[in-house]
């Protein structure tokens, strides 16, 4: 074999060896990868079956059916308030939503100019923070905006909502679900006493919600709320009826008996419908009880039966006509006070307005109303509702107790707007309680008032003694007596000197009922407000506190 043949043979062998080596490497890599993949699949879930998505089939329940049916009936309401003096320079309203002060007529209960302010601060938080950003009592010189909900109740464009949603609005825009357009609306009428309003859009052939009967409700029934909380349209929440005829307290609306529900109601739901399981409107969502400004499980709705009466009056007359007899009632139903005056139930008459139907019928301060037309009256709201719902000009038989004797008075119901046509008032200097006082039982000191002092205080013609101080936590403090009050009577006996108080107190023993008739200046009067008559009572404690 020649030298060149040997070289060629050696090159061939070398090339063959390289190809063989590469083939072996590829084969080993493939086997390793396949084995690893098989091992991996086997380790994860060897017995698992892949999931499949089925064909879409709608599963409906009663809630989804109601939500779909009510979609065209529930609207979003946006309002702007721009003061006239700023319309030429201010084009954009403040984007922060605020609630504005409502104007309230006087009513049969205690007068409290700050009641609504305090109420909304309590339920929505303080205007200065900590309450979710909503404010009540917006200064009129500042532009503002608000947002809420409403429900179509007439196919010709009539919408029921809350008064606080549209109150003083310069512009009102209504937006329907599944409709990007905004429609201008105008106010037909409002009623601050129930916080209800009727507005109208120029749009016909609408779908109107079906009205239910709120008298048929029971605690535990299903309830749904639909509206635009925080501006989110088409929000549906569900819950139950938590309580009925719920009276929230002073400073809310005059006419209460709210439906309480745990269906989530947030700011922006105001004015929207509360529905039963049949999809019928049973209430108008009005407010929430909240420390943060958001939903915490307690919402309140005005019963639809009340709302229907308001709506019918507004579309007929443009306003609501209510009956009145012209009296002021004791705010709390104090059993000891009633006992001193000879009654075991009823409402204590604290004030009778001059020239009112009650005065003309002979009703007096310190009367206790125990029935109307034979129906027992147990609290002030019972009297307010009965009188307000009575036809103006009709006669009601008031069963009263006076001097521990039963009497009947025939009272002709008057028009509330005429009975309280003019607000009463008067300027009086604040009491100067400086100086030494005589210490009494029950944790208070009193001092005499001479004729000059009474005249300066605006109490000319009124006898009594001035409370100079009240010990915190004492019996006097517990029943509501306060520094600056003037005691006029104690257990129905006139008081003109501190000695009179001591003498009457000495006859009382632990467990006896004791009632104070006092004069008190209006809250926030700063010495210049009107003095009003008030009554506080309690049971004498075991100690001589």
Here the CATH number for the domain that contains residue 327 is 2.30.42.10
Q: Work out whether the CA dihedral 447, 451, 453, 458 comes out positive or negative.
A: positive
**505 domain residue, yes or no:** yes
**What is the model's pLDDT at position 138?**
40
Are 361 and 408 members of one domain?
Answer: yes
**116 domain residue, yes or no:** yes
**8 domain residue, yes or no:** no
| The two structure tokens encoding residue 490 | 């104690």
Are 112 and 193 members of one domain?
Answer: yes
The residues with which 162 forms a beta bridge, in sequence order, are: 196
Active site residues: 164, 195, 270
**276 domain residue, yes or no:** yes
CATH number for the domain harbouring residue 243 = 2.40.10.10
Domain closes at, from 389, 419, 449? 419
Are 107 and 188 members of one domain?
Answer: yes
Domain that holds residue 182: 73-201
pLDDT at 524 over 90: no
**119 domain residue, yes or no:** yes
**283 domain residue, yes or no:** yes
Are 447 and 512 members of one domain?
Answer: yes
Are 166 and 218 members of one domain?
Answer: no
**544 domain residue, yes or no:** no
Are 313 and 327 members of one domain?
Answer: no
User: pLDDT tens digits for 66-75?
Assistant: 888 888 999 9
Are 90 and 166 members of one domain?
Answer: yes
Most confident stretch, 284-298, 418-432, 495-509? 495-509
Are 310 and 291 members of one domain?
Answer: yes
The whole-chain average pLDDT of the chain stands at: 78
Name the nearest CA neighbour of 312 among 150, 196, 226.
196
Are 514 and 479 members of one domain?
Answer: yes
Q: How far apart are CA 219 and CA 129, in angstroms?
A: 35
pTM of the full structure: 0.59
Number of domains, the chain: 4
Are 387 and 269 members of one domain?
Answer: no
Lowest mean pLDDT among 107-111, 300-304, 489-493: 107-111
Angle, CA of 243, 246 and 250, to the nearest 5°: 155
User: pLDDT tens digits for 22-65?
Assistant: 777 666 666 656 555 555 555 688 888 888 888 887 666 788 88
Are 190 and 86 members of one domain?
Answer: yes
User: pLDDT tens digits for 138-162?
Assistant: 444 577 788 899 999 999 999 999 9
**456 domain residue, yes or no:** yes
The DSSP H or E segment spanning 412 is strand 405-412
């Amino acid at each position: 074999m020649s030298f060149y043949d040997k070289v060629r043979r050696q090159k061939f062998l070398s090339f063959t060896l390289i190809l063989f080596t590469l083939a072996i490497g590829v084969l080993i890599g493939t086997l390793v990868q396949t084995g690893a993949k098989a091992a991996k699949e086997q380790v994860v879930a060897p017995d698992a079956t892949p999931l499949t998505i089925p064909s879409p089939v709608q599963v409906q329940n009663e809630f989804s059916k109601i939500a779909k049916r009510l979609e065209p009936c529930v609207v979003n309401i946006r309002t702007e308030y721009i003061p006239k003096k700023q319309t030429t320079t201010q084009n954009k309203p403040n984007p922060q939503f605020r609630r504005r002060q409502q104007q309230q007529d006087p009513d049969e209960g205690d007068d409290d100019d700050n009641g609504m302010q305090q109420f909304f601060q309590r339920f929505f938080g303080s205007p200065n923070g900590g309450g979710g950003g909503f404010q009540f009592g917006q200064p009129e010189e500042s532009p503002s905006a608000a947002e809420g909900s409403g429900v179509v109740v007439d196919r010709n464009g009539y919408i029921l909502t809350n008064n606080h949603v549209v109150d003083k609005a310069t512009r009102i825009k209504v937006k329907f679900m599944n409709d990007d357009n905004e429609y201008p609306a105008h106010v037909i009428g409002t009623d601050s006493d129930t916080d209800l309003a009727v507005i109208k859009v120029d749009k016909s052939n609408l779908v109107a919600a079906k009205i239910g009967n709120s008298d048929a409700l029971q605690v535990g029934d299903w309830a749904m709320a639909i509206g635009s909380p925080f501006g989110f349209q088409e929000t549906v929440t569900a819950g139950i009826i938590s309580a009925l005829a719920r009276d929230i307290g002073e400073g809310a609306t005059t006419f209460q008996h709210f439906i309480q529900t745990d269906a989530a109601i947030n700011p922006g739901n105001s004015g929207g419908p509360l529905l039963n399981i049949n999809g019928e409107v049973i209430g108008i969502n009005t407010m929430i009880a909240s420390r943060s400004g958001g939903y915490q499980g307690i919402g309140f709705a005005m019963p639809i039966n009340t709302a229907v009466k308001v709506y019918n009056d507004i579309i007929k007359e443009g306003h609501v006509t209510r009956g009145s007899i012209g009296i002021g009632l004791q705010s709390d139903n104090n059993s000891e006070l009633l006992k001193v005056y000879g009654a075991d139930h009823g409402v204590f008459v604290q004030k009778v307005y001059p020239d009112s139907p009650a005065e003309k019928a002979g009703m007096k301060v310190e009367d206790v109303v125990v029935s109307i037309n034979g129906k027992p009256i147990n609290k002030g709201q019972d009297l307010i509702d009965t009188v307000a719902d009575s036809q103006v000009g009709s006669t009601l038989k008031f069963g009263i107790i006076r001097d521990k004797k039963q009497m009947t008075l025939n009272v002709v119901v008057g028009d509330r707007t005429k009975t309280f046509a003019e607000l009463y008032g008067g300027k009086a200097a604040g009491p100067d309680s400086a100086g030494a006082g005589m210490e009494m039982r029950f944790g208070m000191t009193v001092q005499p008032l001479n004729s000059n002092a009474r005249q300066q205080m605006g109490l000319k013609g009124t006898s009594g003694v001035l409370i100079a101080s009240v010990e915190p936590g004492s019996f006097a403090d517990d029943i509501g007596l306060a520094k600056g009050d003037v005691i006029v009577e104690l257990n129905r006996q006139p008081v003109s000197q501190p000695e009179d108080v001591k003498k009457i107190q000495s006859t009382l023993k632990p467990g006896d009922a004791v009632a104070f008739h006092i004069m008190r200046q209006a809250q926030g009067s700063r010495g210049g407000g009107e003095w009003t008559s008030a009554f506080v009572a309690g049971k004498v404690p075991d100690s001589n506190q």
